[in-house]
Amino acid sequence: MKIGHLDLRSRLLAAPMAGVIDVSMRILLIRYGAGMVFSEMISAEGVRRNQKGSTALITCHPQESPCAVQLFGRDPLVLAEAGRYAQERGAALIDINMGCPVKKVVRQGAGAALLREPELCARIVDSMVRAVTLPVTAKIRAGWDTASINYREVGARLMDAGAAAVIFHPRTAVQLFTGEADWSLVGDLAECLPLPVIGSGDITSRRQAYERIAETGAAFVMIGRAAMGRPWVFSLEAHEPAPHDLYPIVGQHRLLIEELYPPRKAVSVLKRHCVYYIRGLAGAASMRATLMKSETTDAIMALMSDYLLGD
């Protein structure tokens, strides 16, 4: 279960998710068995300009090891510089975002816009491989749109440039998150590329993840949205906990958040994660509205206790 020299303990990895996967969630997912966690995408340009948001995000906490740092940008040298910076701050792997379809990113010619420039994708990986001693990967989509599906070409170029693995979300950029991830494309890439392929898209359980691995020959599978408020999705005991079993999990997460953030920030981060934990439960909408009014972590936990454990 290797990516470059990294030997991972599980084939299930936590997907990068901007605005969702913070350091507290990454530590929790490692505790629950994720083979590796990925940071949300971080602007290489922001790192170069020493912007507070970007440089703070890039640091990996010892408890979240192994942690991959995902960078976005389009300038091979700027990306490489940010990669070096991430390596110095504890990253175990550098991943380059070549799949983000969000306007703000694509407008800069970064993220999924890079799929339209396979030669530049290769130059970026080449430059990163020279800059760091860590494994380098790239996360791609199937292509820009259905008329320009080019994951095979991009995958081959990334490999030639020295990528240790390719992460593949088999939707086009234009598709955003609509329709279904086409896992037959993951199978196709795994067959034609002599590199580990990491599939990402629509996995909802550990069991389904292993089915995808068996069906497609993917070496690893990422879990993204299904891990929000569901850290146990990575664990061997794959059954869904009852609401009252959720409380100790939220309690554990709360302690991490309090350790990692100053008090005011801790309140907003805990609220956000509590909203994920209660998703799909009866009365979640009104609970969410009540949670939003809380001003301390104690108040949030009191509400969660009433909600999950009853009076």
Ligand X SMILES: Cc1cc2nc3c(=O)[nH]c(=O)nc-3n(C[C@H](O)[C@H](O)[C@H](O)COP(=O)(O)O)c2cc1C
Determine the angle formed by the axes of helices 243-260 and 297-309, rounding to 10 degrees: 170
Q: What is the nearest approach in angstroms of ligand X to the Cβ of residue 41? A: 3
Q: State in angstroms the smallest separation of the CB of 105 from ligand X.
A: 9
Cβ distance to ligand X smaller for residue 97 or 297: 97
Give the integer Cα–Cα distance in Å for 105 and 111. Answer: 6
Nearer to ligand X, 24 or 200 (CB): 200
Residue nearest to ligand X (CB): 224
Binding site for ligand X (CB under 6 A): 15-20, 40-41, 70, 97, 99-100, 139, 169, 200-203, 223-226
The Cα-based distances of 45 to 81, 83, 88, 103 in angstroms read 9, 11, 17, 17
With respect to ligand X, which residue has the nearer C-beta, 97 or 127? 97
Residue 108 buriedness (CB in 10 A; 0-12 / 13-18 / 19+): middle
| Least spacing, CB of residue 177 vs ligand X, in Å | 7
Q: Which two tokens stand for residue 29?
A: 């997912």
With respect to ligand X, which residue has the nearer C-beta, 100 or 308? 100
Question: To the nearest whole angstrom, how small is the minimum distance from the Cβ of residue 226 to ligand X?
Answer: 6
CB of 103 closer than 8 Å to CB of 143 = no
Residue found by looking up tokens 């598709």 in the block? 175
- Which residues does 134 contact at the CB level (< 8 Å), separation at least 6? 4, 83, 87, 91, 92, 93, 94
Catalytically annotated residue among 60, 100, 121, 274: 100
Does residue 100 carry a catalytic annotation?
A: yes
What is the nearest approach in angstroms of ligand X to the Cβ of residue 306?
A: 29
* Closer residue to ligand X in complex, CB, 80/223: 223
Q: Which residues are catalytic?
A: 100
